[in-house]
Amino acid sequence: MAFAHLHVHTEYSLLDGASRIKELVRRTKELGMDSVAITDHGVMYGAVRFYKEAKAQGIHPIIGCEVYLAPGMRQERAEVDGTRYYHLILLAENDHGYRNLVQLISLANIEGYYYKPRIDKELLRQYHEGIIALSACVAGEIPQSILRGNVQCADELVREYVEIFGREHFFLEIQDHGLPEEKTVNRALRDLAEKHGIGLAATNDVHYVYADDSEFHDILLCVQTGRTINDPDRMRFSGSDYYLKSEQEMAALFADYPGAIENTAKIAARCQVDFTFGELQLPFYPIPASFESDDAYLRALCEERIPMRYPNAANEIRERLSYELGVIHNMGYASYFLIVWDFINYARGHGVEVGPGRGSAAGSIVAYLLGITNIDPLQYALLFERFLNPERVSMPDIDIDFDDINRGRVISYVKERYGEDHVAQIATFGTMGAKGAIRDVGRVLEMPFSEVSAITKLVPTELNITLERALKESADLRRVYDEDENVRRVIDLARKIEGLPRNTSIHAAGVVIAKMPLTSQVPVWVSEGTLVTEFDKDDVEALGLLKMDFLGLRTLTIIADTVNHVREVHGIAVDVDSIPLVDGKTSQMLCDGDTGAVFQMESAGMTNLVKELQPKGFVDLIPTVALYRPGPLGSGMVTDFIDGLHGKKDVVYMHPLLEPILKETFGVVLYQEQVMQIVQVLAGFSLGQADLLRRAMGKKKHDLLMAQKEIFLQGCAKNGLEASLANHIFDLLTHFADYGFNKSHSAAYGLLAWQTAYLKAHYPVEFMAGVLTSIMDKTDKIPVYIQLCRRMGIKILPPDINSSAATFGIESGAIRFGLAAVRNVGENAIVSMERVRSEGGKFRSLVDFCARVDLRTVNKRAIESLIKCGAFDSIGTERNQLLAALDAAIQDAARRQRDILSGQGGLFGEETMEEVQQIRVSEDIPPSTVRERLSWEKEATGFYITGHPLDDFSETLSSLLSIGEITHIVRKERQLVRIGGILTSTKRFTTKKGDTMLFAELEDFSGKIEVTLFPRVFYAHVSDLEPDSIIVVQGRVDMTGEEPKLLADEIWRMSEYRASFYLIPPADADRRTLWTAMQELFAAHRGEHPVFVQSEGRWRKLEQHYWIDGSAAVRQELRALMGESAVKVR
């Protein structure tokens, strides 16, 4: 071929390039071209997968980038002559050029970021070797000079670029998309090429693969910019020629530019970059000089720890250790284990909570001896081969959980150990899902929201659902697609953008530790001072870089906080790694279904499963984690397991050899390790071969599976199994491969569940304080756990300027609110308050507070939030009065602080504190109402603290609703439910027909839910829908999004429901005395709730002047007067 595309934007020019890599390469091949480049805007996100795909399809990949060039120095954050940056195409000619290109992209991010990552000519001079440069599109520096009419400047720039790259490595790029500017530039570039004796290169600015993709590319640009298709001022490409043209089309365009087409093929042939995959590049781990190798040091560390882990070490332990160390040596992974041991050893020694294990690593005795995991693989029959298979060379994968507060400290240690430039976190790409793509396209096309919503509701709510699958699985979606032209257009365009990368973020756990400085291997960017690879985790691993998963686990932070609270309050040092694994109090709590805040156990479904399983200790939680997944739950496995556990049916084994393997799971193949053991026992496979078969079963690759089946059947025949039984077992194992779970992971997470359950059972206040601290920034979660505390009988004390720390703390057997949960009160403000309080004692008044704290950090907004949430209640002045006095108090305090600085007296001069307080706080201001205080608390913290607007209606609600709490709502499409709560926000929306509908948020004690009111329901109840209204809603569950919503059918004001009080006088009470007391109580709480009194076995309804208000206070007083069981509300 005489032509190759050298200017191509893939999907990784985010929301700008629309060329999917697979389609791009396939189309290149269809057009008869043998090479194609990737030149995304300023990034190299897609380079590795582009390279792999091109090689897989027999196309020669050219690795490049369209970089941004600063008009001056890259460090200058300013425009030059109205320009922030120019474009320049850089192509890697060889491996050295690739490394230089990576350096340039990395330094553009690290040193030159200003709107875009920018390099400058200083960097080009330093890193130009092995790179071929093209002058780029009309946004290039040379074309821009031409368009400004400054041909002399363009001439000088050509000389400069030739001087930087060399005559053979710099080409003037010409393009033709029908733009007048391109015609001007191309003629000038042809003259400059002739004058300077350098080559032309013809390119198309490829942004999509096919000519008819221009509309969908236009949609993509609107998604990027947040504009609609009819916006006259939006960004758009002129013309529709930005596709992958054929050689013939390109040759016709540039017939007047000799050599421009042929040069592209010559450039392509020169660009020879080779990626090496699968060769692990472990960083150097410095072992002590007394050891001759990594393997020797690893063996010594393990043997040194045998007495600690196994005081009565048997031969079995040493044999297992020797076997594992042999496999590790043969695979060359000793230094890998040393690296992991080193940073975990650091973490454990520096107060960082480390999890007991995660994934298959818990099956390794080496990991257990080194303290990498805390699960004994021998005791729980965990398999090493599930972790590291001697018959399949693959990277070991040890994922580590750290407490989420201190995870960063471990990363900092690794940076210090191996070098800042050797350690990075990893990029991940957010892609456009099926429903999101419909919403984006609908917005861009200006389709009414209600119509877009109606379409998305027809897409099944399944993980990773595609629109193609949705059209097959949803008959309603297919019907509207076939019948409605507008719907079809939206879905067709959504299918085009579905799955495209939308944004980058940082992987939650991934950390790269490199042998060489990262900027010489992979492009990086910077986030808050930390390097982040532009390649994702799969690409990083493919290149052989060491990727570790450092997971920040909130549960471990809760454990650490609980242990600290127990030490401070009780003087007891709890070691969660040494707690009893069978404990009556813990198991009883779990059996009762009291699983709130217990790791992995608190969902409604899991709670029910735990109650059915009735765990006696930790070992019973291992299968619980494995059972509670969609596969087992939908296959009948759970029922079989429970029936076998409780002896409701006999457990039958298909062959006697299976009983020792399946006995612990009552004949159910629950774990992947069981599949491996069955294959080993029946067919004589080694565990390594068995793991290969397990993988083949999971991947469902027919050819590979059939080859493995033949070997399995032959092995079974040698062991005397009948062919029919062997076939049946193989088919069953293949079926169970979909559901089988990693037992090592189940054991590790089961242990975490047991540890949190134990702490909750034995130290409930301390545990719940830790839980609340861990979710301080999640205002939707805190009410749920405050409600849990109340059910547990734990008192929650409000924030207090004299008692609260930053986090939730323990005070006299109750939990004191943390100040960090209060809005507008930052870390520095809390530090200031705590320091002043420590030095000068408790605050005695608002003026005292304002005078002593640093008002620059504890500003008016912070003090106002503290007053509103009740943090000043303990000083004895009402909130309304404090708010009224705040401005004067701040002014007075500021004056007094100035006087002290100028030497004009003490803080309060000759005035007493009482006098100052009296001056500033007027008693004439009326106190705030309960509703006002609750509203302020919600404003200041995001939730209610001293009560809840629904408190007076709690019993009424429980008798009216189909579910107890919003958080218990059934996640089932179209399920009819009735719920109650307070409207916390409302937003009106006008439909295409001009009608009004409403989106509202309904909140109860447990959480909140979005409620949609279509016009019919809205107009019927418009007067009941003001914010803070307390209502009951009946409607159907909508599962189109990640969280359930409610489509309202009927609405009632809570005031319409007058729950009645049914009173049963105690048999031994003096009727006259009791009646007198009841009358006084009725008079004090007069209201609209009917009262019935039981008399001689019949209910007597009292006259209306005896009816009461139904408040929590009246219920409490009635029960105090008559007894708990004597008062019923319904």
**pLDDT tens digits for range 383-394:** 999 899 888 777
Residue percentage of the chain with pLDDT more than 90: 69
Looking at residue 787, its pLDDT comes to 86
Residue 237 included in any domain: no
Q: Are 540 and 533 in contact (CB under 8 A)?
A: yes
The string of pLDDT tens digits covering residues 509-529 is: 999 999 999 998 999 999 988
Least confident window among 714-728, 804-818, 1018-1032, 1071-1085? 1018-1032
Q: How many CB atoms lie within 10 A of CB 526?
A: 15
pLDDT tops 50 at residue 309: yes
Looking at residue 1, its pLDDT comes to 60
- Domain edge (last residue) among 1039, 1056, 1073: 1056
Q: Do residue 959 and residue 1102 come from a single domain?
A: no
- Domain edge (last residue) among 1035, 1056, 1077: 1056
pLDDT tops 50 at residue 413: yes
Looking at residue 960, its pLDDT comes to 67
Residue 617 included in any domain: no
Burial of 506 from C-beta contacts in 10 A (0-12 / 13-18 / 19+): middle
Least confident window among 33-37, 83-87, 1105-1109? 1105-1109
Residue 719 included in any domain: yes
Q: Do residue 469 and residue 548 come from a single domain?
A: no
Q: What would the two tokens of residue 488 be?
A: 């079809």
The crossing angle, in degrees rounded to 10, of helices 334-349 and 407-418 is 130
Q: What is the CATH number of the domain that holds 846?
A: 1.10.150
Looking at residue 637, its pLDDT comes to 87
Residue 468 included in any domain: yes
Looking at residue 970, its pLDDT comes to 66
Looking at residue 975, its pLDDT comes to 83
Q: Do residue 510 and residue 484 come from a single domain?
A: no
Residue percentage of the chain with pLDDT more than 70: 96
- Which of 433, 430, 414, 431 shows the shortest CA–CA distance to 422? 414
The string of pLDDT tens digits covering residues 886-898 is: 999 998 888 877 7
Looking at residue 1109, its pLDDT comes to 80
Q: What is the mean pLDDT of residues 736-753?
A: 89
Least confident window among 454-463, 496-505, 666-675? 454-463
Q: What is the mean pLDDT of residues 643-671?
A: 93
Looking at residue 526, its pLDDT comes to 94
Looking at residue 692, its pLDDT comes to 86
Q: Do residue 726 and residue 865 come from a single domain?
A: no
The string of pLDDT tens digits covering residues 1077-1096 is: 999 999 988 888 899 999 88
Determine the residue type at 448: P
Q: Do residue 185 and residue 38 come from a single domain?
A: yes
- Which of 220, 235, 221, 240 shows the shortest CA–CA distance to 498? 220
The string of pLDDT tens digits covering residues 420-456 is: 999 999 999 999 999 999 999 999 998 998 889 889 9
pLDDT tops 90 at residue 850: yes
Q: Do residue 77 and residue 190 come from a single domain?
A: yes
Q: Which residues contact 52 (CB under 8 A, 6 or more apart)?
A: 542
Q: What is the mean pLDDT of residues 447-476?
A: 88
Residue 277 included in any domain: no
Q: What is the CATH number of the domain that holds 488?
A: 1.10.10.1600
The string of pLDDT tens digits covering residues 943-995 is: 888 888 888 777 777 766 666 677 777 667 778 888 888 998 888 888 878 88
Q: Do residue 379 and residue 511 come from a single domain?
A: yes
Residue 668 included in any domain: yes
The string of pLDDT tens digits covering residues 1044-1073 is: 889 999 898 876 666 788 999 998 888 889
Q: Do residue 126 and residue 169 come from a single domain?
A: yes
- Mean per-residue pLDDT of the chain: 91
Residue 45 included in any domain: yes
Q: Which helix (H) or strand (E) holds 1030?
A: strand 1030-1038
Q: Do residue 997 and residue 1078 come from a single domain?
A: no
Q: Which residue has the higher pLDDT, 613 or 967?
A: 613
Q: Do residue 399 and residue 545 come from a single domain?
A: yes
Three-class SS of residue 1089? strand
Looking at residue 87, its pLDDT comes to 97
Q: How far apart are the first and last CA of the chain?
A: 85
Q: Do residue 202 and residue 168 come from a single domain?
A: yes
Domain carrying residue 449: 432-500
Looking at residue 980, its pLDDT comes to 87
Distance of CA 988 to the CA centre of its chain: 30
Residue 54 included in any domain: yes
Q: What is the mean pLDDT of residues 58-76?
A: 95
The string of pLDDT tens digits covering residues 311-365 is: 987 889 999 999 999 999 999 999 999 999 999 999 999 999 999 998 899 999 9
Q: Are 38 and 10 in contact (CB under 8 A)?
A: yes
Q: Do residue 698 and residue 734 come from a single domain?
A: yes
The string of pLDDT tens digits covering residues 323-333 is: 999 999 999 99
Q: Which residues contact 1096 (CB under 8 A, 6 or more apart)?
A: none
Q: What would the two tokens of residue 1042 be?
A: 């990640």
Looking at residue 913, its pLDDT comes to 46
Q: How far apart are CA 107 and CA 95, in angstroms?
A: 18
The string of pLDDT tens digits covering residues 122-144 is: 999 999 999 999 999 999 999 99
Q: What is the CATH number of the domain that holds 1029?
A: 2.40.50.140
Number of domains making up the chain? 7
- Domain edge (last residue) among 555, 579, 596: 555
Sign of the alpha-carbon dihedral angle for 276, 282, 283, 289: negative
Q: What is the CATH number of the domain that holds 516?
A: 3.30.1900.20
